[in-house]
Chains A and B, each alone.
Chain A
């Protein structure tokens, strides 16, 4: 394959950061089709339009997801990327790899594809970039038989679920995120591999409100660990922080001298609900007002811990589309228990209720969050058979989120205004 002149791309190599252009040139030594990736991109820069055709009917037999078809619209100029399909491979929970597994994965992709990878895609999958249609089945055979790994979701499927490292390494985790992610991945194999829905659907599991997988921003159902009882306080450790004997934030900001730790300035005044204060040398928290934001716990991890009655909050409807505004998911279930002993029964029941409704009511290419917006939160809550609570509303004190049905109002809506005004001046 011919090397192409790429002055516009070459300029990208001049910055101080590593450049994908350099990487592709290096890869082209063994995979000459990489010259054509550079060539087609240079042409797109010149023409100010993409030269990739999006989509198609490529896939592996029996699967309706995991492969995204890509074709060049100028194959005569760049034959190496005439087909350049993307393969999504499900990532291991928490993205724990052994180096042996990574090597095997790279060898497999050198064998069947361009060798170019993207670790990881925004859904979390291992993304393998660039292969031809005829290589897909042999690749899939090796992936599943030799490596015991599987494709992830794409299209109108359940997308590969993702989780934070949870209890495997993080003491803040309020449930076993890896177990939940794995169980649901296995349970919903059909939904991951075969299109089931009006549009894509994502779950993400974070063990606490720090939300390290950004579930609240990126998933249709965000499962975020929380606790019901009080934040556990070790008053002796609080005193050590105040005395400057323990580094705040676990030492995360210790690269610079920020001055003496000031509990009022750095913790109490930053509590979003103003529910903390010092009294008689002790730190006090009005837990009924705490929104579980994690700030105080993050700053003083040796003194404060999440409560002991743990579970998760479930939020619905995030999306990050390119064209329309991004939206966070909305709190729907403030607390559910999360236990592998009952196969996460409470969560599963809720997920299937949401699916049944959305498959019926959702329009084509409408994310569940958009369907919720279209019908309105009160309708959604009614269908889900839930009671409205202030936490579902952004500004509950100024937003009249309680709507009365006629039968709930004494005298209905048809009462005599004259008579009312006689007693209550306008």
Chain B
């Protein structure tokens, strides 16, 4: 059964917090709810960014997501 929005948000945060890698691709979150469409997961991940519970990390050609406390900027700053 598909998760509710709040359950999905919690599952995404848990995955981002516990995964061995601090930065994850959007696809890595698909498994949080196999019943959800990729676009729903993307929308929720972006909502979490607006809530400042996740943040983006981008190389310029690709973009990843992570929890702010685990992502370090290249210059050691906490980010914007």
By a CB distance below 8 angstroms, the chain A residues around B25 are 156, 198, 364-365
A394: CB under 8 A from chain B?
Answer: no
**B27 pairs with A55, CB closer than 8 A:** no
By a CB distance below 8 angstroms, the chain A residues around B12 are none
By a CB distance below 8 angstroms, the chain A residues around B38 are 356, 359-360
Bitwise interface map of B from 40 to 65 toward A, beta carbon under 8 Å scored 1, else 0: 00100010011000011111111101
Bound-state CA distance A83–B71 (Å) is 18
**A195 pairs with B50, CB closer than 8 A:** no
**B58 pairs with A198, CB closer than 8 A:** no
B80: CB under 8 A from chain A?
Answer: yes
**B80 pairs with A58, CB closer than 8 A:** yes
Name the contact of B59 in the complex, choosing from A54, A62, A194, A360 (C-beta under 8 A): A54
**B59 pairs with A155, CB closer than 8 A:** yes
Bound-state CA distance A65–B49 (Å) is 13
By a CB distance below 8 angstroms, the chain A residues around B59 are 54-55, 155
**A56 pairs with B74, CB closer than 8 A:** yes
**A59 pairs with B60, CB closer than 8 A:** no
By a CB distance below 8 angstroms, the chain B residues around A133 are 77, 80
Bound-state CA distance A196–B44 (Å) is 11
Bitwise interface map of A from 354 to 373 toward B, beta carbon under 8 Å scored 1, else 0: 01100110111100000000
Would you list which residues of chain A between 70 and 99 have a CB under 8 Å from chain B?
71, 75, 82-83, 86
Q: How far is the CB of A328 from chain B (nearest CB, A)?
A: 20
| Centre residue among B25, B27, B63, B73 by max chain A CB count within 10 A | B63
| Interface residue tally for chain A (C-beta within 8 Å) | 42
**B62 pairs with A199, CB closer than 8 A:** yes
> Closest residue of chain B to A57, judged by CB?
B79
Bound-state CA distance A155–B25 (Å) is 11
Name the contact of B46 in the complex, choosing from A58, A64, A365 (C-beta under 8 A): A64
Q: How far is the CB of B45 from chain A (nearest CB, A)?
A: 8
Name the contact of A364 in the complex, choosing from B27, B39, B60, B74 (C-beta under 8 A): B27
By a CB distance below 8 angstroms, the chain A residues around B42 are 194-196, 359
Bound-state CA distance A196–B61 (Å) is 13
> Closest residue of chain B to A66, judged by CB?
B58
By a CB distance below 8 angstroms, the chain B residues around A155 are 56, 58-63
Given contact pairs A57-B79, A196-B39, A154 touches B58 in the complex (Cβ within 8 A): yes
**B74 pairs with A64, CB closer than 8 A:** no
Bound-state CA distance A61–B27 (Å) is 23
Question: Lowest 10 A-B CB distances belong to which pairs?
Answer: A155-B63, A55-B59, A359-B38, A195-B63, A68-B60, A155-B58, A156-B63, A364-B25, A57-B79, A53-B74
**24 pairs across A/B with beta carbons < 8 Å?**
A53-B74, A55-B59, A55-B60, A56-B74, A57-B55, A57-B58, A57-B80, A58-B79, A58-B80, A61-B80, A86-B60, A137-B80, A154-B63, A155-B60, A155-B62, A156-B25, A195-B58, A199-B61, A200-B61, A356-B37, A356-B38, A360-B38, A364-B25, A364-B28
Beyond A59-B56, A199-B62, 15 extra complex contacts between A and B, CB < 8 Å: A56-B58, A57-B55, A57-B71, A57-B79, A60-B80, A62-B50, A69-B74, A82-B75, A86-B60, A156-B25, A157-B63, A356-B37, A364-B28, A364-B62, A365-B25
